[in-house]
Amino acid sequence: MYQSNQLELGPINMLLGILKVLSNKRKLQLKILIILMFLSAFAEIFSLAALVPFLSVLTDPQKILNLPLIEPISILIGFDLSSHLLLATTLLFSFAVILSAFIRLSNLWLNARMASSIGTDISYLTYKNILNKSYSEQISINSSEWLNDITTHVDATVQTINQALLALTSIIMIIIIVLSFLIINWKLTFILITILSSIYFIIAFVSRKRLLECSSIIAKSSKEQIKLTQESLFSIRDIIINEAKYFYLSRYLMQDKPKRVNQADANFLGMFPKFSIEALALTLIIWLAFIQSQDDFLSIVPLLGILALGAQRLLPTLQQAYNSWAVIKSNSDSISNVYKLIRSKPELPYLIKNNDLFFNNNIVINNLTFKYSQELPNALSNINFKINKGERIAVIGTSGSGKSTLVDIIMSLLEPTSGEILVDSKRLFDRENPSFINSWRSIIGHVPQNIYLTDQTFAENIAFGIPYEEIDFERVKIAAVKAQIIEFILAKPYGFNTLVGEGGVRISGGQRQRIGIARALYKKAQILFFDEATSSLDLETERRVMESINKLSRNLTFIIIAHRLSTIKQCDRVLKLEKGKLISDSTPDHFLS
């Protein structure tokens, strides 16, 4: 969906942009977490500092007892033996180590929980913004791309946020440890840090381009895999009949193999400095300590110990910071997609439905013209007609004549290129009153040609979008009666609580259509749109459904897209479209004679 080989923003800036849209509560939690990161770093320094007296007492306890500052304190508290002092320093060092480990584990746990909470926020915002996209944008993008964004890209972004939090912890830890080392022995620290940081920067510079390549290939392959899986599941009957499974398997393998290889390369690039740099750093510490110990070995033991323990803390922290950077780089494409989705704004603001609208008079279409894009010809040209309240209007025409496009515009799914639609003299597409569209949608019902049913009960499919505990079962039954589906449902073992299966696979096409009709009737809509809704019904069932529709109150208005002439018999007027133009507006008799 998005080409991100040349990212306008770096991944860090995009992550910050994503975090900006989070709630104030989540931002406060992040600030508290950062404070804990500093506490964790200072706890590490405390454990390192406690090592110095421990090693000093261990090597020369009497010398410590005789120090001007220590001697009066030891006499005061009764530490007259070196064993006493050794016990005290051992307890101090043990406490410092345990405290440091506890704070670091707490920080690690909170990092993971924070990333999890932010992940939920991001996943919800991504899904919400996709649903809030205009219908024209929805149909212009392959659904597999939206699915890839919600699953693969969101998961990768959440993983990256977790790594970013770990990287921030590591950076704070590195700064505090290095500053402490500089105070203890700035020369050794300067040499050690210069060498180690130079190696990491060189590795990062060399691997940066390859990590971005891995990111692009992984994102592209994941999208194609989801698209391929979706296509194969939707066409599984044709795949079995035509023995096409090997074709799909080979295409799947072609996408999976490069994805796995590049994931492995990205993981390797993130981890390979660890072992070589650890060995190099320890070797440097040993030789630096050897050079310093030529004059007095005992005096260098505490320094050697703190350098060794400090390296044991510093090296994994440096590696964590580098690995987090590598993960961020390798997920750049995913971050870019999520960033663009979260930061994008729908064409119209998200508004709560207003059910106070009543359709009283008519719908007027004036000079309506529409094209799907500037490069394409007009799908509709200069359409003019009026629909009065209570009328049954049939729209006919050959395939591609513009029937469904016209209905989509009247339902407010598509916005006309030019012209206007007036509902009781109010402009349907009024930028100064965007809530009117939401009010309009609350009073219309739609029965499409292809009904998609959720893998839920009959009742939940009829009362679509309503929580089970809020369903009005009496209304469900009435709608099922009017849609001629009640007998079929009641014959099932669990009646309205019977599962229909994913997409309604356990019932016939005609039954799916009737559930769709019941869904529209349950809504108590004032205007009903039937997009070839009876096309899957046999003639007798279609006749019964149309008779039921005509028995409904004349306050209801019907707009029916029809292919069969039998469908238009009960209509008041018939509109005929041809090549996007309205060529006839007359009675059914004109077409049935």
311: domain CATH number? 1.20.1560.10
Q: Which helix (H) or strand (E) holds 581?
A: strand 581-586
Q: How far is it, in rounded angstroms, from Cα 531 to Cα 447? A: 6
Query: Could you give the CA distance from residue 368 to residue 385 in angstroms, rounded to a whole number?
Result: 10
Q: Total domain count for the chain?
A: 2
Q: Are 62 and 187 found together in one domain? A: yes
The domain boundary residue, chosen from 314, 343, 372: 343
| Cα dihedral 119→123→125→131 (10° resolution) | 180
Same domain, 392 and 287: no
Whether residues 466 and 319 fall in one domain = no
Q: Classify residue 15: in a domain, yes or no.
A: no
| Contact predicate 444/525, CB 8 Å | yes
Show the domain range for 394.
362-592
Q: Clarify whether residues 426 and 528 are in a common domain.
A: yes
- Residue labelled with tokens 């279609």: 542
Same domain, 325 and 396: no
On whether both 323 and 371 belong to a single domain, the answer is no
Reduce the DSSP state of residue 366 to 3 states and report it. Answer: strand
> 371 in a domain, yes or no?
yes
Residue-by-residue DSSP string for 436-458 = HHHHHHTTEEEE-SS----SSBH
In a domain, 1, yes or no: no
Same domain (yes/no): 132, 272: yes
Q: Which pTM was predicted?
A: 0.69
Residues 373 and 271 in one domain: no
- Does residue 140 sit in the same domain as residue 235? yes
Q: Is the Cβ–Cβ distance between 518 and 457 less than 8 Å?
A: no
525 with 588, same domain: the answer is yes
Q: pLDDT of the chain along its 593 residues, tens only?
A: 444 443 456 788 888 888 888 888 888 888 888 888 888 888 877 776 666 666 565 555 555 545 444 445 555 555 554 556 667 667 776 777 788 778 888 888 888 888 888 888 888 888 888 877 778 777 777 777 777 787 788 888 888 888 888 888 888 888 887 887 777 667 767 777 777 777 777 877 777 788 888 888 888 888 888 878 777 766 776 677 667 777 878 888 888 888 888 888 887 877 766 666 666 666 766 666 566 555 555 455 555 555 665 666 677 777 778 788 888 888 888 888 888 888 776 554 444 455 567 888 899 999 999 998 888 889 999 999 999 998 989 999 888 898 989 999 999 889 999 999 999 999 998 888 878 888 888 888 888 877 778 888 999 999 988 888 889 999 999 989 888 889 899 998 889 999 887 666 678 777 887 888 888 888 878 898 988 766 666 777 677 667 767 766 677 898 988 877 777 877 889 999 999 999 988 888 887 76
d(CA 452, CA 503) in angstroms, rounded, equals 5
45 with 174, same domain: the answer is: yes
Q: In this structure, what is the dihedral angle of CA atoms 262, 268, 270, 276, given to the nearest 10 degrees?
A: -160
- Report how far residue 472's alpha carbon sits from residue 478's, in angstroms, rounded to the nearest whole number: 10
DSSP 514-533: HHHHHHHHHTT-SEEEEEST
Together in a domain, 107 and 165: yes
Amino acid at 43: A
CATH number of the domain where residue 418 is located: 3.40.50.300
